[in-house]
Structure 1
C-alpha cells in the first residue's frame, strides 16, 4: 500500500492531484480546488493518457510531500558555469534542451 497522500487523475486536459482515498464514482476536490468525480474506469495508457501536469496541483503536492518546487525550465550553461566559478565547457553551451530539437 502506498504511503502517499495524493494520486494523479486526468481531468479537463490536465493531470491533477487528488486524495488517495477518493473512491471511483465519488466526488472530491483536486489540490488546485477543482471539483472532480473519480472515474470508474482505468485511465488511458501511454501515449493517450499523457497530459500536462496542473502547476497548482504540482506545487501543492510538492509542498505536502516536502519536495522542492521545481524551477521553470533548465538552468543555462552560463548559470551552471557561474555557480561553479568557471566558464562553460564547449559541450555545455551548445547542448540542446532534452525536450527540444536541436
Structure 2
C-alpha cells in the first residue's frame, strides 16, 4: 500500500505485477510505457491505459493497478499547488 506524497514519482512494474494506491482521490496516474489495467473499489469501470494515457482519481477509493505488460508509470497529485501569497510579483508603486 502506498501513500501519495506531494511530489511526483515513477513506478516500474513487470508484466502481471500488482500495485496498490490506498486513496486515489486527486491522484494522476500516467502510463509512460507499456499498458495497465486500473480498478477502483466499488467502481464498475475498467480503466485501461496504454503508453501516453492518463487517469485522474476523483473519489476516495483504493486503486489497484495491474501491469498488462512491463510498464513505467508517473504518479503525482492531480491538484496544482496553490500560489503562495509571498511568491507573487510586487504591486507597482504609483507616484
Normalising by structure 2, report the TM-score.
Answer: 0.26
Structure with the larger helix share: 1
Task: State which structure, 1 or 2, has the greater radius of gyration over its C-alpha atoms.
Answer: 1
TM-score normalized by the length of structure 1:
0.25
